[in-house]
Structure 1
């Protein structure tokens, strides 16, 4: 695979966060409560300080539109936005090893605000995407009725659908269409 494990995790977490937004394909906001946020953070393996308050929830929810835009920027605009995120956070990349993850990079301390850590992790992962010339791995779900984002980490770049079940739904639809046309 082109990307290091921490980059893959950060890209997947950023996509998962973006896809909690109702502006995506589901039309359902799956990050409405502090409990929703806690479950999301646990599911995505987020470490570091969590306040668990309404302000933190609001700040994380506010990240989603900006992160979604990263999937749609050309290379020059993406680089500019990455640099803005890192500058705003006064990011200082450091090599760390914790929680059995092996050596990886953190650019802000684990006690920094959660929304800042999330934005910087996404920006750091996007650096690897840009440096590898792999912007084509950032996609939008191929289902007609879904706008969720996709990170295609497959070897052959064949992933087309989001994690929301669109692939299964499209396969069933195609199967039914074939059954209708076959004698």
Structure 2
């Protein structure tokens, strides 16, 4: 399980998986595999016996657990949740090279770790890094009315409140109309 040489973006992978599983709690293995390939896994690693229906089930359960962290905005509780995951996963950074992938960082228990273990460990490490860079949870649920998509911000500055510029703009327009109507 690696990045296929295309760059390691575990937070983006996690957000995409979290939104997809929230939308479809029974997200099929093929859809999960497609997302993993888009985020650097080789197609061979997510087909046949390498990625089973049981792997998909366990991965969906891991995504649900991680979604609990992604929806936590209180800094102390979010930090505790990330630390708990790191402890549970036995996260010890190591460089790994397997299945034709170049050397890359792993934090799971070993190259034979389950997909769920791998996702929990790599996501927890990525969230810890993002948290430490921002000094707070740099993630959350969209604050726009009618939208509950999860997002993660990677830039500095004010905390994000919306999943996209479109949601932020809709909220600003709605607030403006409310203020104008209150006159």
TM-score, structure 1 as length reference? 0.69
The CA deviation at 1:116 is: 0.8
Is 1:70–1:78's contact at 8 Å kept on the other side of the alignment?
Answer: yes
| SS of corresponding position for 2:105 | strand
1:52 aligns with 2:47: no
Gaps of 5+ in 2: 1-6
Is 2:144–2:170's contact at 8 Å kept on the other side of the alignment?
Answer: no
Provide the residue aligned with 1:19 in structure 2: 19
Gaps of 5+ in 1: 23-27
Cα distance change on mapping 1:128 and 1:57 into 2, 3 Å: same
Number of aligned residue pairs:
162
Provide the residue aligned with 2:29 in structure 1: 34
| SS of corresponding position for 1:146 | coil
Q: Distance in 1 between matches of 2:125 and 2:137?
A: 17
Residues 108-137 of structure 1 show CA distances to partners (whole Å, capped at 9, x for unaligned) of 233311111011111101221333343252
Q: Distance in 2 between matches of 1:20 and 1:169?
A: 18
| SS of corresponding position for 2:116 | helix
The CA deviation at 1:157 is: 4.8
Is 1:18–1:68's contact at 8 Å kept on the other side of the alignment?
Answer: yes
1:148 aligns with 2:170: no
Q: Give runs of aligned pairs for residues 1-150 of structure 1, distance below 5 A.
A: 6=8, 9-22=9-22, 28-29=23-24, 32-46=27-41, 49-50=45-46, 51-71=50-70, 72-96=72-96, 99=101, 104-108=104-108, 109-150=110-151
Residues 8-62 of structure 1 show CA distances to partners (whole Å, capped at 9, x for unaligned) of x11111111111123xxxxx31862121111111112236954321111111111
The CA deviation at 1:64 is: 2.5
Is 2:75–2:136's contact at 8 Å kept on the other side of the alignment?
Answer: yes
| SS of corresponding position for 1:132 | helix
Is 1:34–1:53's contact at 8 Å kept on the other side of the alignment?
Answer: yes
Q: Distance in 2 between matches of 1:43 and 1:107?
A: 21
